[in-house]
Each structure stands twice: as structure tokens, then as C-alpha cells.
Amino acid sequence: MHLIKNAEMTNKTGSKSGQNMIDVDGICKFYGPFAAVNDVSFSVPKCQVCAFLGPNGAGKSTTMKMLTGFLAPTRGTITIAGHDMQNDRIAASEHIGYLPENGPLYDEMTPKGALNYLGKARGLRAGQRNERMNFVLEKCNLQEVWNKPISKISRGFRQRVGMAQALLHDPDTLILDEPTSGLDPNQLVGIRQLIKDLGKTKTVLLSTHVLQEVESICSRVILIDRGHIVFDDQIDQMGDLRQMEQKFHELTHFAVANQV
């Protein structure tokens, strides 16, 4: 069983450039006596797609919310593109595209109207805003619902609108919490390829429960369980899909209930 100590993790990034876009040092999040995240440290370099895995309740979404400034850690530091998230949050946030789990959308707006509004809020000028809206329209395949109220579109299309807003301002760091949730098989192919392509020039940290997805698009795996990092290494250290599933079970102390 491959158990990783936090002090060792900075050597597991597999960075080609040596420049980290995400640096996490000893972050904790306590709710009273309960530790949702406890002494978590890792770094993610440029041009890497890194899977952030764990069972439900392990601390994945809490960690992602802290990385994006939506939650403040009880202690520890988070640096995004060289900016301290607690002391320089606006500058750090300019580098982040965040797709939260079940992220809120403006139901009364159309995707076109919502993205135009969000582009203005991001400070994009008219020409750049139109260029980026055309980019996300094509890459997220939103043509069919571009002018429909968001309240009238399917869950899969809502997820793609969420992905579009994360990409709209062309951030260099993407934090994606279950980006393929609710997508049909055809949509899955397109979004997975998009994430893979984005990883050639951007930093991507994504959470998913689909190990096949991890195998196909990620080069590195970080596994969290009960608030602690229990694995951090290159994807080939997880083995094939069957071995990956077995190692996931072992590291998260999963046991099949006895058959009746």
C-alpha cells in the first residue's frame, strides 16, 4: 500500500517546467472538533492534469473551496500563481477558473446572456468578451441551447454552461469539481478531450469518481481520505484500471459488506 507523507509530496509533481501554479502547505479545516481537512500539502505545476480523488466525505470539495477562496482554511497557506489566497485573493482569483459541484447558474438568463454578464463582471472588454464567448460556445458545444433560458435546459447542458464560465476569462489554472457529472456518452467524449487539450498549456486539478476518466486524461493522482492525503504520484503508479480500483479501495479502507 502506497502511503505518502506530506513532506514527500512536492517531489511527486512530475513538473516539466518546475513552476507550480498551485501550492498548498499544511492546510486544515476544522468545524468544532471535526477535521474536514487535516494537514494537507501538495503542489501542481503548469501543464499538468491532476486528478484529486477520494470517497464521498473525504474532503475533496472542502479542499477545492479553500483553493478558490470560497472557504478560508483554519490554518495553512494556499498560493495560486504566486499569490497568497488569503492575503491577495483578487489577484489569485484572476488566475482561476472554478467549476464547483452543482454550481449555481442564473436560471432566468440564457447561456449567452449569463456568459456575457459574467464576462463583464470579469472585466473583459467587448472585443475580448465576444472572442472568448465564441470560444466557449464552440468548445462546450452550447449552440443548441445558446438562446434558451437556463431553467429549460438539461443537467448535462447546465454542466457545460458551468464549464464555459470557468473557461471564459482564459485562466491558467482550472479547478474542476466533477466536470463530467450529468453528461451523456457523446458529451463525455468532447469534455474529456477538451480537458486533455487544456492540460497542454494550463494547470488542471479535477475531482471525479470515474476512474476510467482518470486513466484517460490525467497524468497524476492525489488521493484524499478522511481529510488526509494518502497517495500522491504519477498515474502509472496506480497500475491499470482494475489495479487502480483495487488500490483506491485499499487506500480508503473500503470493505465489501458480508453477503447475506
> What confidence category does residue 9 fall into, taking pLDDT thresholds of 50, 70 and 90?
very low
> What confidence category does residue 255 fall into, taking pLDDT thresholds of 50, 70 and 90?
low
Q: Does residue 256 have a pLDDT over 90?
A: no
Cβ-proximal residues to 85 (8 Å cutoff; 6+ apart), any chain: 66, 67, 69, 77, 78, 79, 92
Average per-residue pLDDT in the chain?
A: 90
Q: Does residue 3 have a pLDDT over 80?
A: no
**Structural domains in the chain plus CATH codes:** 17-95+172-182+199-252 (3.40.50.300), 102-170 (no CATH)
Q: Does residue 66 have a pLDDT over 90?
A: yes
Supply the pLDDT for residue 104: 84
- The pTM score is 0.89
Q: Among 6-15, 125-134, 139-148, 238-247, where is mean pLDDT lowest? A: 6-15
Phi, psi of 189 (to 5 degrees): -60, -45
Quick: pLDDT tens for 79-96: 999 999 999 999 999 999
Query: What is the separation of C-alpha 244 from the centre of its chain, rounded to a whole number of angstroms?
Result: 20
Burial label for 148, CB within 10 Å (0-12, 13-18, 19+), is middle
For residues 150 and 259, the model is more confident at 150
- Give the whole-angstrom CA distance, residue 243 versus residue 83: 38
Q: Does residue 133 have a pLDDT over 60?
A: yes
Cα distances (angstroms) measured from residue 49 to each of 161, 170, 183, 214: 21, 16, 20, 9
Supply the pLDDT for residue 8: 42
Query: What is the separation of C-alpha 188 from the centre of its chain, rounded to a whole number of angstroms?
Result: 16
- Give the whole-angstrom CA distance, residue 88 versus residue 134: 31
Tell me what the mean pLDDT of segment 1-18 comes to: 44
Supply the pLDDT for residue 211: 93
- Give the whole-angstrom CA distance, residue 177 versus residue 208: 7
Gyration radius of the chain's alpha carbons: 18
Supply the pLDDT for residue 110: 98
Cβ-proximal residues to 55 (8 Å cutoff; 6+ apart), any chain: 225, 252, 254
> What confidence category does residue 18 fall into, taking pLDDT thresholds of 50, 70 and 90?
low
Supply the pLDDT for residue 135: 97
Supply the pLDDT for residue 21: 97
Q: Does residue 259 have a pLDDT over 70?
A: no
Cβ-proximal residues to 56 (8 Å cutoff; 6+ apart), any chain: none
Q: Does residue 111 have a pLDDT over 50?
A: yes
Supply the pLDDT for residue 16: 47
> What confidence category does residue 130 fall into, taking pLDDT thresholds of 50, 70 and 90?
very high
Q: Is the C-alpha dihedral spanning 179, 231, 71, 37 positive or negative?
A: positive
Q: Does residue 60 have a pLDDT over 90?
A: yes
Q: Among 29-38, 39-48, 71-80, 181-190, where is mean pLDDT lowest? A: 181-190
> What confidence category does residue 13 fall into, taking pLDDT thresholds of 50, 70 and 90?
low
Q: How many residues does the chain have?
A: 260
